[in-house]
Amino acid sequence: MSTLQNQRVVLASSPDGELKPSDFGLETDAMPVPGKGELLLETIFLSIDPYMRFWMRSEKSYNNPIKPGDLIVGATVSRVRQSQNPGWHEGEWVLAFSGWQRFAISNGSGLRRIDPAIAPPSTAVGILGMTGFTAYAGLRNVGRPKPGETVVVAAASGAVGSAVGQIARIQGARAVGITTGAQKLAYVKDELGFNAVIDYKAPDFAARLTDAVPDGIDVYFELVGGPIWDAVLPLLNTYARVPVVGLIADYEARAGEQAAPDRLANTMGQIMGKSLTLRGFIQTEFADEQLGDFLREAGTWFADGRLRHREHIVEGLENAPDALIAQLKGGNFGKMLVKVGES
């Protein structure tokens, strides 16, 4: 460890529309020093997630908005470099929420130990962490697929989407993925074992989706928003369930810039006419009660090869803004991580 200073990525200005590199700033600070009872954490991996863009929205922010000057938040895989707390020792791997910086001080609260003997530590923010648990909790609490029912998910090669389809399959449902690009299409079908995969850029996308769900859609796991919803909505069955977890296509729309016509009345009409359930959630809602179940079950599925994952690793803290910008355009292939420190 030769670094004697900390580096942090902050929000330079609230983005309007598409996120740009100039919306971020890279700052250098004094190296933080842990006090009594505290730890110095070194960030090894940053988890890059679409919700970060949602939290940067200036016009309407729901929870903990990221404002100009603020550190960009996010989960991290970190190591304890110094400990003034008898509960933790140097070298331990931990799941933390340090945000986009090389070093952080923690008093230990909210940290979770990662055992690197069980799985690579980076999985603690991915398939065996927040993203895998988001898929699991959305299916368990909202989607509730019954064996033989049809589950559809877009961004199907991504961190959450790939877990949704695989867990749905493990639970006996049919999984239909939506993505684009020859590599991702092949990965979802052949490696992840979805029953079908549809290219949303195909000119006959809606017809292909219809053909892929001969019994309609019972669960649509909403990660993307935008025009895919218009193709999904008429295919939803009576009593279909829609966990609403991400709306990546909508995050960068400018206020008031959404195109006519108004699609709300049709959506509400279908909610009423087909007795649909739409339910937004953030995985933290269910973590206290169900995270233990998930780690146990998903650990087994991961170990026996039924739950696969793929990581897209970008090197260097200074490249975190570009990594998020690329992810928002669908430029990642698998769980997006930034490797910050040496492990």
Footprint of its own copies (CB under 8 A): 54, 60, 62-63, 222, 225, 229, 234, 244-247, 250, 253, 256-282, 285
Residues in the chain: 343
CB 128 within 8 A of CB 299: yes
Instruction: List all residues 6 or more positions away from 319 whose beta carbon is below 8 Å from its beta carbon.
Output: 338
Task: Tell the smallest beta-carbon distance from residue 130 to its own copies (Å).
Answer: 16
255 CB neighbour count, 10 Å cutoff = 11
- DSSP per-residue string spanning 63-87: SS---TTPBPP--EEEEEEEE-STT
b/e for 129-150, b at 16 or more Cβ within 10 A? bbbbbbbbbbbbbbbbbeeebb
Please identify which residue in the block is written with the tokens 């193709």.
231
Task: Tell the smallest beta-carbon distance from residue 14 to its own copies (Å).
Answer: 16
In the complex with its own copies, the residue whose CB is nearer, 219 or 320, is 219
Q: What is the CA radius of gyration of the chain?
A: 21
In the complex with its own copies, the residue whose CB is nearer, 147 or 261, is 261
CB 274 within 8 A of CB 240: yes
CB 164 within 8 A of CB 151: yes
In the complex with its own copies, the residue whose CB is nearer, 119 or 247, is 247
Task: Tell the smallest beta-carbon distance from residue 163 to its own copies (Å).
Answer: 18
66's tokens: 């990221």
Q: Give me the helices (H) in 197-283, please.
A: 205-212, 228-232, 248-251, 264-273
Task: Tell the smallest beta-carbon distance from residue 266 to its own copies (Å).
Answer: 8
Task: Tell the smallest beta-carbon distance from residue 62 to its own copies (Å).
Answer: 3
Cα–Cα distance for residue pair 326/334, rounded to 1 Å:
12
Task: Tell the smallest beta-carbon distance from residue 254 to its own copies (Å).
Answer: 11
In the complex with its own copies, the residue whose CB is nearer, 271 or 326, is 271
Q: Give me the helices (H) in 139-260, please.
A: 159-170, 182-186, 205-212, 228-232, 248-251
Task: Tell the smallest beta-carbon distance from residue 77 to its own copies (Å).
Answer: 26
Task: Tell the smallest beta-carbon distance from residue 59 to its own copies (Å).
Answer: 10
Number of H helices, E strands in the chain: 10, 15
Instruction: List all residues 6 or more positions away from 296 whose beta carbon is below 8 Å from its beta carbon.
Output: none
In the complex with its own copies, the residue whose CB is nearer, 114 or 154, is 154
Is the C-alpha dihedral spanning 127, 133, 136, 139 positive or negative? Answer: negative
In the complex with its own copies, the residue whose CB is nearer, 121 or 243, is 243
In the complex with its own copies, the residue whose CB is nearer, 30 or 265, is 265
In the complex with its own copies, the residue whose CB is nearer, 71 or 271, is 271
